[in-house]
Amino acid sequence: MKYYVGIDLGGTNIVAGVVDDNYKIVAKASTKTNCPRPEKEIADDMAKMALQAVENAGLTIEQIEWVGIGTPGIANSSTGIIEYSNNLGFKNTPMVEYIRETIDKPVFIENDANAAAYGEFVAGAAKGAKNAVCITLGTGVGGGIIVDGKIYAGSNFAGAEIGHTVIEVDGAQCSCGRKGCFEAYSSATGLIRMTKEAIAEHPDSVMAKLGEKNGKVTARTSFDSMREGDEYAKVVVDKYIKYLAAGITNTINIFQPDVLCIGGGVCNEGDALLLPMKAIVEKEVYTRDSEKNTKIVIAELGNDAGIIGAAFLGRANG
């Protein structure tokens, strides 16, 4: 049995996992990222968590084949440098060099959404596909693209920013500086914004009462209120699903993958989200009359996708 280490570097947590040849996580170790702070300190903690995970697995570092890192931002997989990450405050950070100061093993690096997509490709919802796209609906909308079994990152390692394609010209402001981005409407953040706007218009709605009861409005508020018969909540949910379907249809029309998987907390809504969204996509996708269309599925690996994908970056780069 061979073993690999995958590190999922996030804005909140650093999580390292030891993964075996069967794509099973044997052991983990984690710590807070504690941004903002010097990049070298974060790198040192990443190395510590990798070594701690190896120890927790009952192994030694000599038994590890390589270390892979999934990071927010633009990660240059050829130089090992994180060229830019606004979430972490990194700019031209030589992350691979930093890790190798502590761990004398091959180290690979990739954007976190790409790493998560690769995890789903090798071990999750996209396993067995040749071409796949994975979209994560979280604080933003992350994207990862697999073409012929390889991660597609573009010529400048900033590819697959599916969330920053516009679906509503001059629409809601996006954090990237543009207006009307897919992310501004189909992220959990976008859903919360639309729910709050509806509550402001309908302060006596079930949504308003549920938000007050729970102490805050979440991505679940509109769906939960819809299930309680709130007609205004249904309008929010229908609008959210319409925008989500538009972004997914655009993505399918461009890439025509075998599988498109969607992940993130919003996907916990299951069929209430998936069935109406798929019905819209099936009507609107360019290849609607084709015998073979993209299969749309829910991601399977959850938060482990980034760890598993990062652990096998040595294979992706092989």
pLDDT digits (tens, 9 = 90+) for 150-197: 999 888 988 899 999 999 999 999 988 999 999 999 999 999 999 999
DSSP 16-66: EEEEETTS-EEEEEEEE--SSS-HHHHHHHHHHHHHHHHHHTT--GGGEEE
Which residue's entry shows tokens 């509503």? 168
Distance CA 267, CA 90 (A): 30
Same domain, 84 and 176: no
Q: What is the DSSP letter of 312?
A: T
Same domain, 79 and 98: yes
Model confidence at 1, pLDDT cuts 50, 70, 90, reads very high
Same domain, 111 and 154: no
Model confidence at 76, pLDDT cuts 50, 70, 90, reads very high
For the chain, give the number of residues.
318
| CATH code for the domain of 236 | 3.30.420.40
Same domain, 136 and 111: no
Same domain, 177 and 290: yes
Per-residue pLDDT of 242-262, as tens digits, reads 999 999 999 999 999 999 999
Angle between helices 188-201 and 231-255 (to 10 degrees): 150
Same domain, 57 and 17: yes
Model confidence at 125, pLDDT cuts 50, 70, 90, reads very high
The domain containing residue 252 runs over which residues?
A: 129-298
DSSP 145-190: EEETTEE---TTS----GGGSBSSTT-SB-TTS-BSBHHHHHSHHH
Same domain, 155 and 110: no
Q: Can you tell me whether residue 5 is helix, strand or coil?
A: strand
Same domain, 146 and 262: yes
Same domain, 118 and 144: no
| Count of domains forming the chain | 2
88 compared with 228, residue with greater pLDDT: 228
Same domain, 134 and 276: yes
Name the β-bridge partners of 31.
Answer: 14
Flag whether pLDDT at 87 surpasses 80. Answer: no
